[in-house]
Structure formats: C-alpha cells, structure tokens
Structure 1
Amino acid sequence: MTSSEPLLPTTRRALLHRVATAQAEGRTPSLVAAVQRDGQIAWSGARSCVEGHEPDGDTQFRIGSITKTFTAVLVMRLRDEGLIDLDDPLEKHLPGTGAGHVTVFQLLGHSAGLAAETPAPWWERTPGTTRPELADVLGEGPLIHRSGHGHHYSNPGYTLLGSLVEKLRGDTWDEVLRREILEPLGMDRTTPQAAAPHAGGWAVHPWADVMLPEPAEDLGLMAPAGQLWSTTTDLLRFAAFLARGDERVLRASSVEEMRAPAAPPEAGDWDGAYGLGLQVVRRKSRTLLGHSGSLPGFLAALWFSVEDDVAAVVLSNATSGPLTGAVAADLLEIVAEAEPRIPEPWRPLPQVDEELLALTGPWYWGTYVYELRLLPDRGIELVPLRGAGRSARFRACPDGTWKGLNGYYAGETLRAVRAENGTVDHLDLGSFVFTREPYDRTAAVPGGVDDEGWRGLSL
C-alpha cells in the first residue's frame, strides 16, 4: 500500500467518531473537519445540530488568529525582497507609532513586550471604526514588558505588522493578501468578509442548551490579527504551502524559518513555543505547527506535521465549546499513528564527488565518535555514533565550506583544513576539531597530544 491510497475504514471511523464526539460534547451548532495526507485531502467530515445541513469543505467559518499566519507570510515576503530586515526597528519603516524601537522579528514572534489587547472596548466585538488610528489600537502605554525578553502574545502587534505591509506595498492589507497569497495558492474561498455559503456565529449558554447569535464585526485596523473567513479546503492548501513552501509566495527556506521558535516559551509552558506567525507544539514526541483562532461565535484550528506530511483543520461556530486545537491534533495523530507515512524508495545520489566522498565515515571530536554522511547538493550531516552528541546538517557554500542548518551548529561554519601535502588534516567546526582518530597525534589538535600516547593502567 502507498500513502496516496484512501484511508482504511477503521481510520475513517475513528476520525468521524472524534468529530462527532467533539460536536456533541462541545455543544457547538456545527463542526467541520478535514485531514490532508501527502498534499491531498484524505478525509473530511462534519456534524450539525440541524440534520441534513452539515457544513462541507466549501463552507466558510471565521478563523480568527489563523489570520496572523497570513500576515506573517506577507512580512517575510518583504524581507525576502530586501525591503526590510527582521532586525529593523519598526520606526525605520513605520514612524510615529510610540513603539518604534521594537523590531519586526519581535512583533512576528510576540516578544516585543506589547499588551495582549487594545484599550477597551473589546476589539473583537466592536466595529473597527471604534479604533480609526494606530494610537487607538495601542493606547497610551502599549509596552508592558521589556522588548525581546520573553514571549507575550499581542494582537495589536499584528496590527502594526499589517500597517507595515500597507506602508511598504502602498495598498490595503486585504488587497496585498489577495494578490500575493490567496490567488497564487488558489484560495478563492478565503476572504475578509463572509461569502456564502458560510456559517453563522453563535454563543451557546453555559448552563442550558439554548443559543444567542454573535455579531460579526469588520475589525478595521485589527484585521491583520483576526479578520479572515475560510474553509477547510482552503486552509489545507495553506498548510501544504507552510510545510513545503511555494516559490510563487515564499521559498521553502523562509517557511522553515517561520517554523522555528522565536522566543523562550512562557514559564511552565515547555511543550509549546511560537515561531514567526506560527505556533509550535510538542505532543507525544511529535512537532505540530500551525495556529488556533477564535472570534465571538467561532473557533478554529490548523495543525500540520512536516515529518508525517499530515495536516488537519477543525472549524466550529460557537464562542466556546469544542477545543478545536485538541481535536485537530487528535485527527492528525489518528492518521499518522494508524497509517504511518510510507518512506520514499531509497535512491543513490545522482553524482559522486570523489573528494567529498573521501570525507565520509568516522570522525572524532576528542573521544566522541561521529559519522559524516553525504546529502544531496553537496550537503553533509554529522551524526554521533555513540554516547551523547550533537547531530547537524550542513549546506554547501560556494567557498568550499559548509553552513550549519539546525540545532547547536545552526549558522556555524564547518571547513576541511588541509595539511601542506593537500590531505585533510582535520575538520574545523566552530573551533571544534574533528580528526580521523581519537586525539590523532598527526593532526592539529588544540592543546596537543601527550607524547607518550595512549596507555593502560600500571599496577
């Protein structure tokens, strides 16, 4: 069986059971969910309090803060085009905000120290015209923490990022979004305003099975933090892009950068972190990426696993009710664990560089033994073979060195240092010396090697 085949009946039933349980126990008028595997929708299901009126993959729900991920992609596009640097202070491009010293990077990762919400009244349930200027969004004291010293989620921070996009593009946030993300990815059912068919937002009484309609406000300046309506089908397209990248929108290395934690998590919250517009969660040794969202009348969640190549979306139309984030994670795990991803066939590299091939095999950092392996495009990988050690992948650079891609050695340079006769004496990785033998006496080991060499115990 290949992973592109339909899900097994037992898996489909487990998914439906989870969705049905979530709708019933969460007391939500309706709930729709879908799972994607290998870039293709593998399953979808829905439940509704009105028989025969279940939503489907074309039914819009409001997605709340999942909107922030779209805004983050727009900002990363500005960076990739050289219009900004992530370390730029906001004041350089958007002066006069009163929070000009915070950086673009800090705003993307919620470490700028801004308040979580706007000044009263509650922005999610009032018209955006209530806050016509950025000063109305930020208030008189927008900073409540030291910038860059920790994670503190901020909705106004994404208003600033949306305004940055508008300033540099010379167009409205929603028009830039449509042109640069939604159209290229074919997401024609993701819109700033509801477009039929769409669900209505409801509040369900906490102690009685009765409902109250919620208002659906245009959020104005706060739109980049939570305005969008979307569908399960469109959001799974977005998940595929966030896992793989798309040169029409953002290259793979940039979306990978978005997925890396940007600031230390809050105290006691060691299973979760925040990247650049993406939430990062560790669950059962699996890394889930995506975002949750809520606005009055709606709850939403999108999670994907790059390693499993599985994504799940859950949308519901209740102010409180099903824990959509947990439900989406459960759906993803049901598929990933019941039907694990089938590995691609092993294939040899398309060409062999004899000089590079000679570097493969065991290398020693002191007495720690590592294996050097070749990767595509002249990349290499160092993997510890025994005991504790730091694995790392490296990409080849034009000058014959390699740059670390992950973990402890991310950004560090690895070079092959040659002796006078042209042979490789040792590998230098950020001043760490790797030799062909443990403390090789013929290599340039820092501190030298004792002249008497290795010895046993003399009694």
Structure 2
Amino acid sequence: MTTSQEELLPGTRRALLHRIAVAQAEGRAPSLVAAVVRDGRTVWHGARTSVDGHGPDGQVQYRIGSITKTFTAVLVLRLRDEGVLDLGDPLERHLPGTGVGTATIAELLAHSGGLAAESPAPWWERTPGSLRPELADVLGRQPLLHPVGRRHHYSNPGYTLLGALVEKVRGAPWEDVLRREVLEPLELERTSTRPSAPHAGGWAVHPWADVMLAEPAEDLGLMAPAGQLWSTTGDLARFAVFLAEGDDRVLGVESVREMRAPAAPSEAADVVDGAAYGLGLQIQHRDGRLLVGHSGSLPGFLANLTLSVEDDVAAVVLANCTSGPLLAGVGADLVRIVAETEPRIPEPWRPLPEADASVLELAGQWYWGTHAFALRLTADGGVSLGPVSGQGRRSRFRANGDGTWTGLEGYYAGELLKAVRRPDGTVSHLDLGSFVFTRSPYDEEADVPGGVDPEGWRGIG
C-alpha cells in the first residue's frame, strides 16, 4: 500500500498529529502509532516516542488482541460461502462433543451463544496456553451463563470454539489456515501469531508514578483465535480496505457487508451508547456516523481499527501499554477529523447508459396508505424506495432479472418487490411483502386489501 503524506492538507495532518500526541501524553503510552486510510490507501501515518530507539513506522509490530477475532470470523464466513456449513447450523453438527453445541455458528460469531466471557482461572492472557490443552479446559465446568441466543455477551471462549471449528473442517491448524487463506492473499506480510522484529515490547505503566513494568507475551494456545495476532499499522490499513470493499480471493463484498451488519441482541446499555455487534465486528454510532471495526487488548498492548464506509475513511491506532489511552475514541476522532475537514468528493453525476421502459414507468411517487414514497432507479440497475420526506422505512432493491426486486437493507431486507399489472398490462400497484403501494392514496382502481370506502374522501359535516 502506498503511503503519501501529501494526500491530506497540512491543517488536517496537524490535527491528526495533535490528537495522537494528546492520547500518548495523557494516556502515558510508551509509544503510540496510527495510520489513516482513504480511497483504498494509507494517506497519513503518525507516531509518538520510540520503539527500540527509533520512531515506530508502519512496519513495527504490536500485539492486536481481539482484532484477531475479525480474522477468525473471515475464515468462518469463507466456509459458509463455500457451502461447507451454514451460519444457522448448531456447532454440534460440525464440532461435536463440546457441551455447548446447541449454539449456532452465527451466535458464536455475534457473541450471543450464552458463553462466559473468559476461560476459567488462571488468567488466560498472562499464562501459557499449555495450561489449557483441551477445549474442556477453555470452557470450564459452567461454560454457559445465559440462554443461547437471548443476549449479547462478549465471549473469548466462543472464538476459541470457532477456531477449533476451522481446524476441524479444514484439517489443518488455525494458524496455517489463516496464513494461507487470508494473510497471503491480502499481502499482510507483517501479521503473524508470534512477534517478528521490529516489534514493540509490552509494558504496564504504574497508575501513580511514571515507571513501567514489562508484561509477559504468552502464546495463548487454543485461545489464539480470540487474540493471538501481532500486526502493524501498514497491514491493518490493508485489512481495513478489505473490510470495506471485500476481495474475491478471500471474501466478496456482500459477505464483508454482512459482517458489518448487527447480528446480536443489544443490551440496554448498548442501545444507549449506540453500540452493536456484527459477525466478528463491533458497530457503533458516534458523531453522527456509523463506525465498524474492532478493538483489542492484551497485557502490554492496546489496538483499534475503526472504519466509516460512508466516509471512505479508516483509522488504525496501536500502543504498547496495558491501559491508558482509550484507542476506540482516538480512532473515531481520526476518522472524524478527516471526514469533516476534507469531506469526500462525490462522484460526478452521469445519466444512466440505458433504462428499461417497464421499470422507468414505475419511477415516481407511490402511497402506502397515506404515506408518500418515491421509487427511483439506481445506477446499479436496481431501484430504491423511501419516504418522499422525513423518516421512515427505506431500502435499496436488487433486480432479480424477472421483473422483481429483493430488498437489501432495513425493514425490507430480503423482501420481494414486484409490480402487479392489470390484464391490459397497465400497473395496478406495487406489492412489497404483501404491502400495497398505489399511485394515489387508497386508489379505488387498485386492488387495495379490504377495499376502498365507496363514499370516498370527505370532511366532517
């Protein structure tokens, strides 16, 4: 990926540097490194203090903790796309004998499988994985704390199970499958399960004094699919582009879009904070924009990847301290700074190369009851339907090639839209999942369920 500092205006670059400088100083991080991605490439890189005597660049490795989960989720989605499994399958169908096999694969991906957040003692992040040689050691005697599928409860053991699933189906270690199917195709050459020089050391900073304590860097064993990886801002910048655009060598655009969609029931606190969880990705509404990505932490390290697809801006922030700077906030601020100071230039408007006359006649205003909607043709050959003004249900629709369309988002996702024609070929109404849309409110000439009062519209007299 090409790095070009000239891509951003000087004022923007200074604002980005100021933000990470404040984070490093106030968070007392031994080092902090960040990158911003736009238009599919890194456009800014910044670092504060040093690693091994020099300023960390885009090739210095840091441990990325739970961002590893997103990589594991990609491997699982690949199995689904190949038809090897379905996300609705219970785990037991593909990985029998765990004792928690009633949870579906999708529920494990979305942390709604009811599993405990952590593995039983001793603290798995600071002890060798050899202490947990079997899945039973990871899950413990009471692996389920909640009814399966009822609530979102973040679970590291859940991603251990997903890693074991990948190994069982592929017949190879998780690490090997990850390297072959994700890291090599995406050219993530500095992402690995063990550190490779140059890399940062992990530190704990004393809460009441400016002194540090070295943290252990344990091999997590079976817990590796939940948090083992080391990576760089350069590699994670490439990975952010993949999460926005997809890559047919790994996962297509529709599958990464599915990863970015909410997939778990939200807790009340999450609703207040605007947070949700997809398939291996955290989702948050912040500063009026939708952000997806993942944070990570292990003793000695903090990491964050934040992406705004609509703004086409992503940020990666890494630090080598156990606690201190709140990197999710830093990442969101880096995205905001670029999105607001240098907003995305829209593509030029161009007329469609052609328009099907039978579709073009459907364009315009329609009514669902008394609610006014507008149907528009889209550049990709589909249509969109949404309120003429104000808030309400809206969606884009994909053409099915037979005169019908399938909803892509929101309330109408997966629902079928079709034009119902009279015997003479004229359009009577639109049918959207049994809802009738007519050219005028309760059109008496259309087939409105329940009929239309023959006395018509009237006042009170």
Short-chain TM bin: over 0.9
Between 1:322-331 and 1:286-295, the stretch displaced more is 322-331
TM-score by length of structure 2 reads 0.97
Q: Secondary structure at the match of 1:269?
A: helix
TM-score by length of structure 1 reads 0.97
1:323 aligns with 2:326: yes
Q: Aligned partners of 2:391 and 2:339: how far apart in 1?
A: 29
C-alpha displacement of 1:430? 1.2
Q: Aligned partners of 2:122 and 2:57: how far apart in 1?
A: 35
Within a 5 Å distance, the mapping from 1:283-362 to structure 2 comes to: 283-362=286-365
Q: Secondary structure at the match of 2:24?
A: helix
Number of the residue aligned with 2:54: 53
Q: Using a 3 Å threshold, how does the CA distance of structure 1 residues 387 and 319 change in structure 2: closer, same or farther?
A: closer
8 Å contact from structure 2 (residues 5, 44) kept in 1: no
C-alpha displacement of 1:50? 7.2
C-alpha displacement of 1:4? 11
8 Å contact from structure 1 (residues 86, 104) kept in 2: yes
Q: Aligned partners of 1:423 and 1:141: how far apart in 2?
A: 64
1:410 aligns with 2:451: no
Deviations 1:214-256 (A, max 9, x none): 1111111000000000000100100000011111110111111
8 Å contact from structure 2 (residues 397, 408) kept in 1: yes
Q: Using a 3 Å threshold, how does the CA distance of structure 1 residues 141 and 189 change in structure 2: closer, same or farther?
A: same
Amino acid at match of 2:94: H
8 Å contact from structure 1 (residues 61, 230) kept in 2: yes
Deviations 1:166-225 (A, max 9, x none): 111111101111111111111000001001110000111111111111111111100000
Q: Aligned partners of 2:381 and 2:209: how far apart in 1?
A: 64
Number of the residue aligned with 2:68: 67
Amino acid at match of 1:284: D
8 Å contact from structure 1 (residues 22, 327) kept in 2: yes
Between 1:397-406 and 1:306-315, the stretch displaced more is 397-406
Q: Secondary structure at the match of 1:64?
A: coil
Q: Aligned partners of 1:132 and 1:212: how far apart in 2?
A: 29
8 Å contact from structure 2 (residues 240, 314) kept in 1: yes
Q: Secondary structure at the match of 1:178?
A: helix
Number of the residue aligned with 1:40: 41
8 Å contact from structure 2 (residues 50, 56) kept in 1: no
C-alpha displacement of 1:267? 2.0
C-alpha displacement of 1:51? 10
Number of the residue aligned with 2:151: 150
Q: Aligned partners of 1:424 and 1:378: how far apart in 2?
A: 20
C-alpha displacement of 1:455? 2.6
C-alpha displacement of 1:377? 3.9
Between 1:382-391 and 1:136-145, the stretch displaced more is 382-391
Cα RMSD of the aligned pairs, angstroms, is: 1.5
Within a 5 Å distance, the mapping from 1:394-409 to structure 2 comes to: 394-409=397-412
C-alpha displacement of 1:401? 1.5
Amino acid at match of 1:95: P
Q: Aligned partners of 1:304 and 1:361: how far apart in 2?
A: 34
Number of the residue aligned with 1:373: 376
Q: Aligned partners of 2:73 and 2:247: how far apart in 1?
A: 15
Number of the residue aligned with 1:29: 30
Between the aligned residues of both structures, percent identity stands at 71
Q: Aligned partners of 1:208 and 1:307: how far apart in 2?
A: 42
Amino acid at match of 1:269: D
Q: Aligned partners of 2:336 and 2:435: how far apart in 1?
A: 40
Question: Where in structure 2 are there 5+ consecutive unaligned residues?
Answer: none
Q: Aligned partners of 1:433 and 1:152: how far apart in 2?
A: 40
Between 1:48-57 and 1:208-217, the stretch displaced more is 48-57
Q: Secondary structure at the match of 2:269?
A: coil
1:20 aligns with 2:2: no
Q: Using a 3 Å threshold, how does the CA distance of structure 1 residues 111 and 26 change in structure 2: closer, same or farther?
A: same
Number of the residue aligned with 2:205: 204
Q: Aligned partners of 2:190 and 2:314: how far apart in 1?
A: 19
Q: Secondary structure at the match of 1:299?
A: strand
C-alpha displacement of 1:292? 0.2
8 Å contact from structure 2 (residues 100, 143) kept in 1: yes
Number of the residue aligned with 1:435: 438
Q: Secondary structure at the match of 2:345?
A: coil
Number of the residue aligned with 2:111: 110
8 Å contact from structure 2 (residues 116, 157) kept in 1: yes
Q: Secondary structure at the match of 1:124?
A: helix
Q: Aligned partners of 1:348 and 1:245: how far apart in 2?
A: 27
Amino acid at match of 2:78: R
Number of the residue aligned with 2:454: 451
Q: Aligned partners of 1:211 and 1:382: how far apart in 2?
A: 58
8 Å contact from structure 1 (residues 201, 216) kept in 2: yes
Q: Aligned partners of 2:389 and 2:56: how far apart in 1?
A: 53
8 Å contact from structure 1 (residues 117, 155) kept in 2: yes
Q: Aligned partners of 2:132 and 2:384: how far apart in 1?
A: 52
Amino acid at match of 1:427: L
Amino acid at match of 2:37: Q
Q: Aligned partners of 2:8 and 2:403: how far apart in 1?
A: 46
Q: Aligned partners of 2:368 and 2:108: how far apart in 1?
A: 40
Q: Aligned partners of 1:438 and 1:337: how far apart in 2?
A: 41
Amino acid at match of 2:183: L
Deviations 1:417-437 (A, max 9, x none): 111111111101111100111
Q: Using a 3 Å threshold, how does the CA distance of structure 1 residues 335 and 377 change in structure 2: closer, same or farther?
A: closer
Amino acid at match of 2:243: L
Q: Using a 3 Å threshold, how does the CA distance of structure 1 residues 206 and 177 change in structure 2: closer, same or farther?
A: same
1:100 aligns with 2:101: yes
Amino acid at match of 1:87: G
Within a 5 Å distance, the mapping from 1:376-395 to structure 2 comes to: 376-395=379-398
1:275 aligns with 2:297: no
8 Å contact from structure 2 (residues 5, 45) kept in 1: no
Between 1:300-309 and 1:422-431, the stretch displaced more is 422-431
Deviations 1:266-316 (A, max 9, x none): 222211010000000110110110000000000000000000000000000
Amino acid at match of 1:367: T
Amino acid at match of 1:279: Q
Q: Secondary structure at the match of 2:225?
A: helix
C-alpha displacement of 1:378? 2.8
C-alpha displacement of 1:454? 2.2
8 Å contact from structure 1 (residues 377, 396) kept in 2: no
Amino acid at match of 2:230: W
8 Å contact from structure 1 (residues 4, 37) kept in 2: no
C-alpha displacement of 1:38? 1.0
